[in-house]
Chain A
Amino acid sequence: MTTLILTRHYLGETFHNRLGVVFGAVQPALYLVLFGPLFDRSGVGSWNVLVPGLLVQLGLMSAGLAGFGIVFDQRFGVLDRLRVTPAGRLSLLLGRVLKDAVVLLIQAVLLLALGYAFGLRAPLLGVLLGLMLMTMLAISLASLSYAAALRIRQELFAPITSTVVVPLLLLSGAFLPMSLAPRWLDILSRFTPFRYVVEAVRGLFAGSYASAPVLWGTVVSLVLAVASVAVGVRIFQSENA
């Protein structure tokens, strides 16, 4: 209940300045418009291969950098103000995280519409299941981002996270499938969770729902979500008396 009160509040705030929704979706949209046509003609794959990658890029850019919000809340005493109420610590985290998931879903739908205009064709069921994976990814990334924002020195949060996002994104095979990678890079990428998510969404967009990549991607997303929320709550709590 408290979670939803907070989520509503944050969503109101986000829509109050609509730029908040666009922010984070700009980069993937640029890739789609300026890199997509090139990729489509490269012979590597079509829009069905690229757009799932751009969705994961969107997740990293949008939910992954969500911690920025809490940096300001901490600086202006807002976080302490919330922490001194009886609201559960899990709610204080989830209220924000759910907002980020909703924002990400809206951004993802916009990106998908743009992709569709360029030539993406994927079955509706596959797209819906892909969006579910994206939601789990958003929950994980936002939780981790908040945890990092509370633990890392304020002025370091922005440079560190925006640097960490780059290798994670490249290793996920978002732009070019990892099947093209040399062996060492392929192996390295298997240690990052996002590769499995990208491949699962590609599988779903191709309509192969019962394939191994889809299964693996789902398992990895679930485990990551549970672990990330646990880490997030622990850090929200450990700041307490």
Chain B
Amino acid sequence: MIHVRGLSKKFGEVEAVRGVDLDVSGGEIVGFLGPNGAGKTTTLRMLTTLLRPTSGAATVAGCDLFADPAGVRRRIGYVAQGAMLSPFSVVGRELELQARLQGLGRTEARERVAELLAELDLTGIDHRTPVSLSGGQKRRVDIATGLLHRPALVFLDEPTTGLDPQSRANMWDHVRRLRERHGMTVFLTTHYLEEADALCDRVLIIDHGRIVTSGTPGELKSRHDAETLDDVFLAVTGRELREEPREKEAS
């Protein structure tokens, strides 16, 4: 589903991503784990055609990132780290617009929005604005923007940052259900080691723009003789991974 070789991005002097290789198969839930500034968002923005890589090659959802960015866009969903809607927009209208831009007809778009809102336990919020929603509801609306066209592959950048433990567990259920019901491949970033442990089939740990280790949570623990993924991170990088939720720029 995703094949990446030597992907790099420089912002002037800053090497945000340095030669990332990764492969993700269909139907996997893969966690992309790393501390602040490790290069997670930069990698996701490159794989979703939003940012031009400095070098490297990638096939995403069967389309070459450089030769066919429009093909990639048709087949993927992307939910960014910050917000997806401006605070005073009307949720239903924004979702319908997004569905139309993804190629759905007018009635089809309306039906799909209702269906998806129900699936995400958001029925009845179409006339609301994001400012009036709880953090968990708002984040699920963000996620909805990436799922309207039933993509085979969805990228979620920190889907649970800033949520309380209960909303976070609730979000995990939603993500699991996406795979169970629709066979969706999910590539998500997170700061929470227990999230990667609980939700992901496989974990890639990135630090300073490089993937430092990868495997199933179980493999990583036994390989590094660690009890938890926290210990794995410590063993690989020699540092603790900050765990407390950070201020979100767009909240």
Contact A241 B52 (CB under 8 A): yes
Residue A212 is within 8 A (CB to CB) of chain B in the complex: no
A210 / chain B contacts, CB cutoff of 8 Å: none
Contact B46 A241 (CB under 8 A): yes
- B: residues with CB less than 8 A from A are 46, 48-53, 65-66, 69-70, 73-74, 76, 78, 80, 82-87, 89-90, 93-94, 97-98, 100-103, 145, 250
Q: Given the complex of chains A and B, what is the CA–CA distance between A85 and B94 in angstroms?
A: 13
Interface size on A, residues (CB 8 A): 24
Contact A85 B98 (CB under 8 A): yes
Residue A83 is within 8 A (CB to CB) of chain B in the complex: yes
Known: A241-B65, A241-B66. A84 touches B83 (CB 8 A): no
Selected from B51, B65, B85, B103, the residue in CB contact (under 8 A) with A76 is B85
Contact A241 B250 (CB under 8 A): no
Contact A75 B250 (CB under 8 A): yes
User: In residues 187-241 of chain A, which contact B (Cβ within 8 Å)?
Assistant: 239-241
Contact B102 A86 (CB under 8 A): yes
Q: Given the complex of chains A and B, what is the CA–CA distance between A76 and B86 in angstroms?
A: 5
Chain A minimum-CB-distance residue to B46: A241
Contact B78 A84 (CB under 8 A): yes
Contact B49 A6 (CB under 8 A): no
**Can you list 5 pairs linking A and B with CB atoms under 8 Å apart?**
A6-B97, A78-B86, A81-B80, A240-B50, A241-B69
A83 / chain B contacts, CB cutoff of 8 Å: 49-50
Known: A13-B89, A241-B53. A81 touches B46 (CB 8 A): no
Q: Given the complex of chains A and B, what is the CA–CA distance between A52 and B81 in angstroms?
A: 47
Chain B minimum-CB-distance residue to A83: B50
Contact B102 A80 (CB under 8 A): no
DSSP class of B's interface residues: helix, strand, loop or mixed?
loop
Contact A78 B84 (CB under 8 A): yes
Contact A84 B52 (CB under 8 A): no
Chain B minimum-CB-distance residue to A72: B86
User: In residues 1-44 of chain A, which contact B (Cβ within 8 Å)?
Assistant: 2, 5-6, 9, 12-13, 16
Chain B minimum-CB-distance residue to A69: B86
A86 / chain B contacts, CB cutoff of 8 Å: 70, 73-74, 101-103
Residue A87 is within 8 A (CB to CB) of chain B in the complex: yes
Residue A159 is within 8 A (CB to CB) of chain B in the complex: no
Known: A12-B93, A86-B74. A81 touches B145 (CB 8 A): yes
B65 / chain A contacts, CB cutoff of 8 Å: 241
B87 / chain A contacts, CB cutoff of 8 Å: 76
Closest-CB distance, B126 to chain A (whole angstroms) = 14
Selected from A5, A12, A75, A77, the residue in CB contact (under 8 A) with B84 is A77
Closest-CB distance, A57 to chain B (whole angstroms) = 29
Known: A82-B101, A83-B50, A241-B65. A77 touches B83 (CB 8 A): yes
Chain B minimum-CB-distance residue to A238: B52
**Given A2-B101, A77-B80, A241-B53, 9 additional A-B pairs, CB 8 A:** A5-B101, A13-B93, A73-B86, A77-B250, A78-B84, A78-B89, A81-B98, A86-B101, A87-B101
B80 / chain A contacts, CB cutoff of 8 Å: 77, 80-81
Closest-CB distance, B132 to chain A (whole angstroms) = 15
A239 / chain B contacts, CB cutoff of 8 Å: 50
Q: Given the complex of chains A and B, what is the CA–CA distance between A240 and B66 in angstroms?
A: 11
